Amino acid sequence: MKSSDPAHARISIIGAGPGGLTCARILQRHGLAVTVYDRDSGPETRNQGGTLDLAADNGQIALREAGLLDDFFKLARPEGQEVRRMDPNGATILHKVPEGDELYRPEIDRGELRNLLLDSLQPGTVHWGNTLETISGPADGPRRLHFANGMTVETDLVIGADGAFSRVRPAASSAVPEYVGVSFLEAWFFDVENQHPAIAEMVGPGMASAVDGERGLIAQRNGGNHIRVYIAQRVPVDWIARNGLTADDTDCIRALLLDRFAHWSPRLRRLFTENDGCYFDRPLLGLPVPHTWEHNPTVTLLGDAAHLMPPVGVGANLAMLDASDLALALAGAATIDDAIRTYEKTMLPRSIEIAGTVDGVAERLLSSDIREFALAAQAS
């Protein structure tokens, strides 16, 4: 079957995260029709996660192509670029304060970024409550999308922007995410200036962290007077179940953490003993490095679906840059097939290079050697 002209093609994006929405926005700016399908029942279904730093050499490039860079700067928090590093005794060993006009990696909450992108799209672009199950049809198209609610959709291009456990990825690659040996527990603090003033002062306006080689605490200021703390440990992926617990057993998990962090400063231990609510288990996963696939004329991937990165500030940035590159390739190509070839010729080498650079960086972030931390931070 002859590959479709993008201007007349049915383009389907799976996933309404930063990558999928950025791709949709840029496609629409260039006059191309697109539909986004997302499993959530609506934009407010679930919390979108913590804060992101969007860098000038990737995420901000995508926002410029989307015509949203000025709007982003109105929402961003440049002060969020501040970094504090402490030892387990609570002594400060590194404190980096951004220049007053520094805008290289300003922070923005994931929810605010998503709303910025959603509000820029034509009404009805995102079809909520559609969980993709499988893709059928010949490789040269058309493809059929089969959703859990029984709906089927015929399309000329499927773009997998659906994250680590992508349902689109099997149409291009047999790779599956694997545990990397480091797990995060997420803890939340609300109304920190009033309810947790000591923690607010310790964390400051950006990120504060401390590690001892096997475990660490990484605290990030979010918008809305909110702080998230990530309790990092080298543990088996099922460490909570191995202790006879579930993620809802907050008091018992806290007792385990107090034992594991017993030699740490009481001041730092407050980052997991005074949190509001329960903990959230976030084991870190990765795809094989390098992760590539045979060219497919009707399916491609972007973001975590293509290259699952550790949480060190590259994932969303790369997803948005992928989205921009793919949308621009589609806007400038004669056929869908040509556009995918152009996009993957740029995206795959870039993702292989960056994945190689950050491979193992999650473990290096737990190193008590400040030089290892500096290398990990540079990789991000």
Domain ranges of the chain: 6-76+106-176+287-364, 178-286
Distance CA 216, CA 233 (A): 7
Rg (Cα) of the chain, in Å, rounded? 21
Instruction: Give backbone dihedrals phi and psi of 7, rounded to 5 degrees, phi first.
Output: -65, -20
Considering the domain 178-286, what is its CATH architecture? 2-Layer Sandwich (3.30)
- pLDDT mean values, one per 10 residues, the chain (380 residues): 90 98 98 98 82 94 98 96 95 92 93 96 98 97 97 98 97 95 95 97 96 93 96 95 95 97 97 97 91 96 92 85 98 97 97 78 63 43
Q: Which residues contact 158 (CB under 8 A, 6 or more apart)?
A: 12, 14, 135, 143, 145, 168, 171, 298, 299, 300
* pLDDT in the model for residue 362: 64
Angle, nearest 10°, between helix axes 315-332 and 336-358?
A: 160
At 53 the pLDDT is 93
What is the rounded CA–CA span in Å between residue 300 and residue 12? Answer: 11
pLDDT of residue 379: 39
Q: In this predicted structure, what is the pLDDT of residue 44?
A: 82
- Amino acid (1-letter code) at residue 289: V
CB 8 within 8 A of CB 103: no
Per-residue pLDDT of 129-179, as tens digits, reads 999 999 999 999 999 999 999 999 999 999 999 999 999 999 999 999 999
pTM of the model: 0.94
Domain 6-76+106-176+287-364 grouped into CATH 3.40.47.40: no
Q: For residue range 42-54, what is the model confidence (pLDDT) as tens digits?
A: 888 777 788 999 9
Model pLDDT, residue 377: 44
17-30: burial string, b at 16+ Cβ within 10 Å, e else: bbbbbbbbbbbbbe
Question: How much is the pLDDT for 82?
Answer: 96
Cβ(239)–Cβ(114) below 8 Å: no
What confidence score (pLDDT) does residue 46 get? 75
Q: Which residue shows structure tokens 């389907």?
A: 12
Tokens found for residue 261: 């962090």
pLDDT at 375: 40
d(CA 374, CA 380): 10
